[in-house]
Amino acid sequence: MPETNIDVEAHVKAMVGREYGRVYAWDPVNQPMIRQWCEAMGNKSVLYHDSAFAAQSVHGGQVAPPTMLQAWTLAGVNGETPPGSSAVNPYEAVDFLTNNGFPVNVAVNAEQEYFRYLRLGESLCFTSMLESVSDLKKTALGTGYFVTNLMTFMTTEGEKVGTMRFRLFVYRPHQAADGATAETQAEAPAQPAPRRPHPGVSDDTRFFWDGLKQGRLLIQKCSACGQLRHPPAPCCPDCHSFAWETLPASGRGVIHSFVVVHHPQVAGIEAPNPVLLVELEEGTRLVAGLVGIERSEIRIGMPVQAEFLRVDEELVVPVFRPI
């Protein structure tokens, strides 16, 4: 609940320097999680996959990717932390601002520093400190405060292994019109529909967009080895040849994956917006929109056919319709 008769900025800045107790990892550093993380991130370093190679490396054994630092101590999907973890919320400054006129927050950045590699079997924990709260700032998003938490990661024996500064902007969004009432906004003249953003077009991708204007879905093909590739690129990732040609695609494929985008909303695109990853018959995959079906009926593996949606005089985009 909002607190009355209180200087919000003075109150939240008085929290700076407040420290929060240990939060423990559910599991020690382990190979299955390293493998899954590397697969998700596309990290193919043999250091993290091959125990024999790792044993002969400067590390003398298998280690974890440094950027997994925070992953080891994340709460479970239900938000629970392991027994013995501090129950005090390290983001109480954010909660205080949220309850006192600054209801929205967005992550700004995270800065990690690593002191050494983590080894299999090590158990970790972290402590937190509210490092800083900025003065009131006005940004394109709204008016609010930048809140920075410093997390210190360590082994359960107390050896520090890394830090992370996590910065949030906690803010009050701009009003649609300063001082405007619902009545005056309703009486305002209708504004033209916002223009859908246009893609950046380079010499490497122009063929794709030009093909769409002609009602053709074109795939880039290496002239040397015949490998198909999408998105377009200057050279073949397999044989590194710069020679390429195009192959007209049938437009038929199946939904390999999809997501329904609710936020952020994009000008000129109705939300919620289904976005597909379609695997074409030819083997390449393409990100595109979906038409002709309710969102609740979308299924992975569903067969689809490409259509060409004219957005304006300059832009045609591919969309897919179930077949």
Same domain, 17 and 158: yes
Residue 307's domain is classified under what CATH number? Answer: 2.40.50.840
Domain annotation covers residue 188: no
Count Cβ neighbours within 10 Å for each residue of 195-205 and write b for 16 or more, e otherwise. Answer: eeeeeeeeeee
Same domain, 310 and 267: yes
Q: What pLDDT is recorded for position 263?
A: 79
Residue 12 tokens, joined? 């939240």
Same domain, 163 and 279: no
Domain annotation covers residue 178: no
Same domain, 228 and 112: no
Same domain, 132 and 23: yes
Same domain, 128 and 216: no
Same domain, 139 and 264: no
**Residues written for the chain:** 323
Of 149, 173, 197, which closes a domain?
Answer: 173
Domain annotation covers residue 130: yes
Q: What angle do CA 198, 258, 310 make, to 5 degrees?
A: 30
Give 10-residue mean pLDDT values along the chain (323 residues): 68 96 97 95 92 94 96 91 94 95 93 97 97 94 95 98 97 68 49 79 94 97 96 93 97 96 82 93 96 92 97 94 95
Residue type, 297: E
Domain annotation covers residue 200: no
Same domain, 231 and 146: no
The pTM of the whole model exceeds 0.75: no
If one counts the domains in the chain, the total is 2
On whether the CB atoms of residues 147 and 97 are closer than 8 A, the answer is: yes
Closest C-alpha among 39, 106, 33 to residue 70: 33
Residue 168's domain is classified under what CATH number? Answer: 3.10.129.10
Same domain, 19 and 155: yes
Domain annotation covers residue 55: no
Q: What pLDDT is recorded for position 78?
A: 85
Name the residue range of residue 149's domain.
Answer: 8-28+74-173
Q: What pLDDT is recorded for position 184?
A: 47
Same domain, 91 and 15: yes
DSSP state, residue 60: S
Domain annotation covers residue 61: no
Q: What pLDDT is recorded for position 264?
A: 78
Q: What pLDDT is recorded for position 181?
A: 46
Same domain, 101 and 153: yes
Domain annotation covers residue 305: yes
Same domain, 94 and 150: yes
159: left (phi over 0), alpha (psi -120 to 50) or beta: beta
Of 173, 195, 226, which closes a domain?
Answer: 173
For 77, the 3-state DSSP assignment is coil
Domain annotation covers residue 117: yes
Q: Residue 205 and residue 159: Cα distance in Å, rounded?
A: 50
Q: What pLDDT is recorded for position 271?
A: 82
Q: Residue 281 and residue 252: Cα distance in Å, rounded?
A: 6
Residue type, 113: E
